[in-house]
Structure 1
């Protein structure tokens, strides 16, 4: 069958998490680098569509193109490994340790950041004719996004920080469902459809994705947006990473694992014991 039942695809999630923990440093960084670069390119693409059409929904509908490409090519996002690798540890896979998981997260973070920064530089260069003039409409919008989603949160203090964290949680609830979506079908069209839906939702709802933000905010800084690197780290990237971790693991990884792997005894079985 082209559809895998939940108990089957959750096992695939655990297998994938185990494989990522033991992946070589070179392969982990290369795959993370390409994932960051492609996802950043998709964000640039979606913003360009929004500017051209004035319709954010169209950009959200088409943004998942980048996510689909990177997943089908076997590349890794931080938001995905946040969910998959802990499941291998919870399942007791041999050799999977907390230090090994943290190593994987650190390498994927570095790779994603490097890839996103590469695309950010390309975008800044293209939209300013190699930094010889002011940014075009797309560059200006990207610059404004960086300002609004750092200083905008900071203006609300603790309430802004809580809102940012919750948007990060909601984001990886959806993005991790996209990662899972690639595992529930054995056909490319089935994988694409399953991935497309939650990714479109997160982008249109303007939730906070740590890897997308590795592109948007450094790109804004390259275009001289009026916020600092410290603003970006404190009022976006760090809380977003933490929100992504909590949201993806709590709402996707642990819930699927708890009910499809560590299932509770069925009522009939309990009655037979009684």
Structure 2
């Protein structure tokens, strides 16, 4: 939906803007400005959506999340994505980073492949396989987690804001940047870059 509507997805920008910087079409400072504000906007949107979801699923706090199967599943996933990594220390951090790297390789392939079509159906078909791959394999996507982990916290997950950012937020954003920038953006740039005539 974000790609079709022409909106800003931070993880897509991790692949696309470095190409423009490499090609000297924009500056590094403007790329970092974009990444900062788009991440911040995605974070605000994710947390607001999590709050609205909490209102709906708990009937504005009148239903106990412990009695709602989907709420229990969100809590379990949020805890797995944070304290699940924490129990392994540095190995958990490396795992979260690597999962995020692989995730954004898929997400940014979907973003770039959407450019291969001029029709809505073509764009959806082009994006479908890489996005479904990342979901099916359970990879870490920073923007998805900006909804999922706050929703888990609101529903009663045994995690703190610090747990979120230390064990998931920071390593996952870093992995998403590396995966999108190197494995999709720069690899495609180097593959298709034509030599300038002398």
Query: Which secondary structure state, in structure 2, belongs to the residue aligned with residue 131 of structure 1?
Result: coil
Runs of 4 or more, structure 1, over 2 Å off, are: none
* 1:132 maps onto 2:62 in alignment: yes
Match of 1:121 in 2: 51
Query: Which secondary structure state, in structure 2, belongs to the residue aligned with residue 76 of structure 1?
Result: coil
CA distance in 2, matches of 1:225, 1:181: 37
CA distance in 1, matches of 2:144, 2:75: 14
Q: Any conservation in 1 of the 2:13–2:35 contact (CA below 8 Å)?
A: yes
TM-score (norm: length of structure 1): 0.69
How far did residue 201 of structure 1 move? 0.3
- How is 1:168-179 mapped onto 2 (pairs within 5 angstroms)? 168-179=100-111
Find the partner of 1:194 among 110, 120, 126: 126
Query: Which secondary structure state, in structure 2, belongs to the residue aligned with residue 144 of structure 1?
Result: helix
Q: Any conservation in 1 of the 2:104–2:176 contact (CA below 8 Å)?
A: yes
- How is 1:56-67 mapped onto 2 (pairs within 5 angstroms)? none
How many residues align? The count is 195
CA distance in 1, matches of 2:190, 2:117: 21
Match of 2:95 in 1: 163
- Specify whether residues 246 and 263 from structure 1 end up closer, same or farther in structure 2 by C-alpha distance, changes over 3 A only: farther
How far did residue 100 of structure 1 move? 0.9
Q: Any conservation in 2 of the 1:168–1:207 contact (CA below 8 Å)?
A: yes
TM-score (norm: length of structure 2): 0.95
Long gaps (5+) in structure 1: 1-68, 265-274
CA distance in 2, matches of 1:169, 1:262: 27
Match of 1:269 in 2: none
CA distance in 2, matches of 1:147, 1:178: 28
How far did residue 86 of structure 1 move? 1.3
* 1:97 maps onto 2:24 in alignment: no
CA distance in 1, matches of 2:44, 2:4: 21
Structure with larger Rg: 1
Q: Any conservation in 2 of the 1:123–1:139 contact (CA below 8 Å)?
A: no
CA distance in 2, matches of 1:205, 1:263: 38
